[in-house]
Amino acid sequence: MLSSEVDTDGARLPLGVLRGGQNVAIEVPAEVLFGRHLAIVGSTGGGKSWTLGSLLEQSAREGVRVLLLDATGEFAPLDDLAEHISVAISPPANGSQACLPHRQLSESDRRALLRPSAGAQLPKLRAAIRSLRLAQALGEGHSLIHDGLLSKANRPRKPYSDACFEHAAVLDDPQAPFDIRKLSEQVRHECVYENDQREGTNFGGWAMNELSYCNTMIARILDLTSTTEVMDILDPRHATPPPSVLDLIDQWLAGDESKNILRISLADLTFEHNMREIVVNTIGRHLLARARDGAFRPRPLVVAIDEAHQFFGQGVADEFVAASFDSFDLVAKEGRKYGLVICMATQRPGDLPAAVLSQAGMLLVHRLTERRDRERVEQAASELTLAATRLLPALVPGEALIVSSEFAVPVPVRIHRPKRPPKSDGPSFARTE
């Protein structure tokens, strides 16, 4: 049996057998495998998903707690080994349906969603959200509110100021609720002069120049709020709305009888309006906040991210806004000391930021044929020798190199086949009767 140089009494995960030496078992302590982040990389068809599936099965058996972000839904065969959540607009076949209420978004994610320009549009957007929060607090029967909106044009300023003072705690709460479906119309109501030129005690009339500056943002908000696949995640209006994915994560973390794996499926989540990146970024930010509060020191948490290149180093940058989805980049840099570690699996390591991949203390490298991908792995792993690099294109499906400072040299291994293999097969072109 070949194992790492670290002597530990903790769980040891059997990865497979030595390539070319079928009787030599490869076991790695969980503290070594996950202790300083883990990267599983390899070209399509190289066995990356099977390796992740095998690790998930072994982790569940040994009591390692793993939250899996399943980008494509291929890990549904984990079945009763895991608890399942699907961020989707309709109930899944297996597990719980979840949403992500827009009030739980950070301001940076909301800016990425709505893309206001930093000049005229962002202040009006912030003012509109503040007014809608006040409208929610005051209720429809209040004199300032009509049809859920707060109108300012030519209205007295004092009742508005008094209401803001009374409900200051709500207005200052970044997660206070507001009706996002009325946001475009409320932005229009914010486009007024601050003072009536005659008396100064009223708001002024419509500022048509400000309204013209905001028209492009208003159109984007209208497009967002008319997209059912987005709004049923951000603001579901069902008789019994599904719970927030963040609340379900917290319930799983707190449950004494919870299964060791929580699988969050993103397979049914739309690509429109950067929804996938925003959902994953919000989950990462929530987990990092909990980690900083010490939640994972007694029992560490591994976050396994499939198709990791879709979620690291991503952002929105155009003529309107520049925003980064960087929560898991921050987890890679500082999460380990809090007991929050990442297992990233990707077929495109060249698309991962170098600063993220370099944080991985261990790499499981399957067949890599693309030069840029091999170069990124070489940059991240100083232990990868020239001879081992030349071996990478020749690895067959299911074979990988273990690259880590815990091993004197890269170790070629044939990974154990998972008992619940993921649905990662390509399309079949065989003729069927």
C-alpha 358, offset from chain centre: 20
Ranges of the chain with pLDDT below 70:
1-10, 21-22, 319-320, 382-383, 385-387, 425-433
Q: How many residues does the chain have?
A: 433
For 292-329, how does the pLDDT look when each residue is reduced to its tens digit (9 = 90+)?
999 999 999 999 999 999 999 888 777 667 778 999 99
Contacts of 44 (CB under 8 A, 6+ apart): 347
pLDDT of res. 7: 47
Q: 391-396 — which CB contacts under 8 Å span 24+ positions? A: 392/365, 392/367, 392/368, 393/367, 393/368, 393/369, 394/367, 395/42, 395/46, 395/366, 395/367, 396/367
Helices H, strands E: what count in the chain? 15, 17
Domain 2-99+236-415 class, CATH top level: alpha beta
| Integer Cα distance of 323 and 285 in angstroms | 14
Strands (E) located in 286-371: 301-305, 314-317, 322-325, 340-346, 362-365
Q: Which of 323, 37, 14 is nearest to 1 (CA)?
A: 14
Q: What are the domain boundaries of the chain?
A: 2-99+236-415, 107-227
For 36-63, how does the pLDDT look when each residue is reduced to its tens digit (9 = 90+)?
899 999 988 889 999 999 999 999 999 9
